[in-house]
Structure 1
Amino acid sequence: MDKKTGKLLHDPIFPLLLRMSAPNTVAFLIQAIVVLAEIWFLSKLGTTSLAAIALAFPVVMLTQQMAHGALGGAVSSSIARSLGSDDIDRAENLIWHAIVISSSGALILLVTFLLLGEYILVVLGGTGELLKESLAYCLVFLSGGFLIWISGSLGAVIRGSGDMRFPALMMIFSSGLQVFFSAGFILGWYGFPKLGIVGAALSALISSGFLTVMMILKLKSKSSLVKLNFSRLSFKKDLFKDIFNVALPASLSPFFTVGTILALTGLVGQFGESALAGYGIGSRVEFLMIPLVFGIGTAMTTMVGTNMGAKNIERSEHIGFLGGMFAGALSGFIGLILALTPDLWINLFASDEATYLVTKQYIQIVGVCYLFQGLGLSIYFASQGASAMKWPIVATVVRFIVAALGGWMTINYFSLGLNGIFYSAAAGMTLFGLIILISLKLGAWRNF
């Protein structure tokens, strides 16, 4: 067994978690800043463009959570468990299975959007120029979506082998590229053609293309523990099954997460374009939490997966609990700061007073519950490593029902307006975190 895998099995947990999560957390934080930078660029185009990106946001969220979260976590888990059981040949064979699944996932999302995308955007409130801009963004983004999926899976392979630094470093470089090209293509800076909202989609694809190339080069290098070898190019039913055992149930989570966003977007859209733009800013800030927790969660997936592969369940559970507490505390602190200081940051993105007020409402109600978002999402990633996705999926479904149904009821039966929608979203987020934590403490990974 190699030295790196041995450390995952025997080193003190919290210092190991800090070392492994630090590169990812920094990289994903920088990626989150890119998201905020894009909002700032788009705000210069006006409220319609801000509302259009809010309308398209579920498509972005679904693609990234499926590629990097559901499938990426499943791939990391499979690689880590293979290495934990000291089977490098199996790990290298798994890479090709991940590539096939990634390519198929990207194609399925593109075809689905071509068939149903415009109808969905109209149902969510898209009309006129708002619909036109949102549709154009989604078509460009999904047409090159395979780059996002492949880069996500190959990065997951490297993380699953215990190397968090290289993917993180490449993400930092790609984030710089994305900001540069976003400014160029959205606003026409540096002599680039001014493409508006489509420029944001194009810059994301350029960034993902860079990541894909760099991950392939790494996996072909001598320094990689697991390598992309054509000699391992064969397909086995049990290896597809190993990935899908985690990826299929985990993929329900992005669908229900995006379903929650779609439902809330549709409910908020009833209150006008400024309300939709304000919610778009608020939900994008919430999206800031996901990269931060993702940095911790991807480390937990690898740590838990390796220990589960070595049959060390008690250590795996301890990793899940400590990581969940850490991610929850970090998310809760940031949410509280954002909620207490809205005047310091909302005006950077809001182009009118009505948009500002909606964003402020949202963050002051939902922001204080980010603790439970961080707690639940990090243990969700750890559960992927344990190949035990039942209770994380239950928690995600409960969140969807509470947020969507609760929001609808507060409007139609209690006339609470936007506040009612946002309180329902906060309640769903709280239950999400609590259910996953309680299931872990009651032995969900032992009883799976």
Structure 2
Amino acid sequence: MAIRTQTEVPLTLRFDTSDYLPSRPNSYFRRPFGKLKSPALKKLFKIFRQAIRGEEEDFTSGSIRRAIVLLSIPMVLEMLMEGLFALVDAWWVSKVSVDAVATVGLTESVITLVYSIAIGLSAAVTAMVARRVGEGKPEKAGEVTVQATWLALLIAAVIGVAGFVFAEDILRLMGGSEELIAACSGYTRIMFGTNGVIMLLFVFNAVFRGAGNAAYAMWVLWLSNGINLILDPLFIFGIGPFPELGVTGAAVATSIGRG
């Protein structure tokens, strides 16, 4: 009787990595960045760069959609920069006292009225300047600028006198304590007294936007914020030859930066 024995056959497992991995492993990492090289994203980046640089463009002809994008990008960034003034002031004066931070907040709440008037005036200036430029009458755009400047100064003078004289009453009306008013009313006085720089900044930037150079207006706000960021600690804490003005120094720095 023959006895059959079972021979063990070695089992070999073979994995073909080509089924799972690309021939070039690094392509998995290059693929997301490769998408950035698509024509659509290239075109978008080019438009964004052109909007930031403020390259000369004739908006009286060509694609309306392209013109809207080129003008809106620097406008959005410009308004973001406008909101940074109060944030920078609040951050620096937070190192002085709690009342100083409260003063910045209360004053900015009322200064919003100045912003509202300035924004309304700048909208009208932008529309009028854009119309005259589109008509090919730059001299008429200059007349609009002069008239808007005088109107802005007149409005700023009325607001400035009222705000400077009644600064303590404004803070009291907004709920400020007597200690806060006694220590920090100088900030409110200067912010109202120099509101003319706010009005003129909005008007002049509106002229640039109306003329199709919105990027220039944006860069002006960036420069203004940079100056404010540098001058705030100098005037607040009296660094070097600068006087130590406390929270009032923040108002001085902001006014100089906007000017």
Calculate the aligned-residue CA RMSD, in Å.
Answer: 2.3
* Secondary structure of the corresponding residue to residue 183 of structure 1: helix
Question: For the Cα contact (< 8 Å) 2:237–2:246, is it kept in 1?
Answer: yes
Counterpart residue type for residue 11 of structure 1: S
- Between the aligned residues of both structures, percent identity stands at 25
Within the candidate set 234, 246, 259, 1:184 is matched to 234
- In 2: Cα distance, 1:11 partner to 1:56 partner: 43
* Secondary structure of the corresponding residue to residue 125 of structure 1: coil
- Name the residue aligned to 1:208: 258
Question: For the Cα contact (< 8 Å) 2:86–2:104, is it kept in 1?
Answer: no
1:4 aligns with 2:4: no
Within the candidate set 125, 142, 147, 2:192 is matched to 142
- In 1: Cα distance, 2:248 partner to 2:134 partner: 44
Where do residues 415-426 of structure 1 align in structure 2 (5 Å cutoff)? none
Structure 2 residue runs of 5 or longer lacking an equivalent are 1-55
Counterpart residue type for residue 124 of structure 2: A
- In 1: Cα distance, 2:151 partner to 2:138 partner: 20
Counterpart residue type for residue 61 of structure 1: T
Report Cα offsets for 1:133-180 as digits up to 9, x if no partner.
442112112222222222221221111111111121122112111100
Q: CA deviation at 1:31?
A: 4.1
- Name the residue aligned to 2:244: 194
1:23 aligns with 2:74: yes
Structure 1 residue runs of 5 or longer lacking an equivalent are 210-448
- In 1: Cα distance, 2:181 partner to 2:59 partner: 50
1:41 aligns with 2:41: no
Structure 1 range deviating more: 100-109 or 193-202: 193-202
Look at both structures and tell me which one has the larger radius of gyration over its CA atoms: 2
Report Cα offsets for 1:101-155 as digits up to 9, x if no partner.
0110110101222454432322222232211344211211222222222222122
Question: For the Cα contact (< 8 Å) 1:75–1:160, is it kept in 2?
Answer: yes
Structure 1 residue ranges (4+ consecutive) displaced by more than 4 angstroms after TM superposition: none
- Name the residue aligned to 1:107: 157
* Secondary structure of the corresponding residue to residue 4 of structure 1: coil
Q: CA deviation at 1:85?
A: 3.6
Between Structure 1 and Structure 2, the one with more helix by share is 1
Q: CA deviation at 1:198?
A: 0.8
Report Cα offsets for 1:213-235 as digits up to 9, x if no partner.
xxxxxxxxxxxxxxxxxxxxxxx
Q: How many residues align?
A: 204
1:151 aligns with 2:211: no
Within the candidate set 72, 82, 90, 2:140 is matched to 90
Q: Measured at CA, do residues 78 and 57 of structure 1 come closer, stay the same or move farther in structure 2, by a change above 3 Å?
A: same
TM value normalised by structure 2:
0.70
Counterpart residue type for residue 38 of structure 1: D
Counterpart residue type for residue 66 of structure 1: I
Within the candidate set 201, 210, 216, 1:160 is matched to 210
Q: CA deviation at 1:82?
A: 2.4
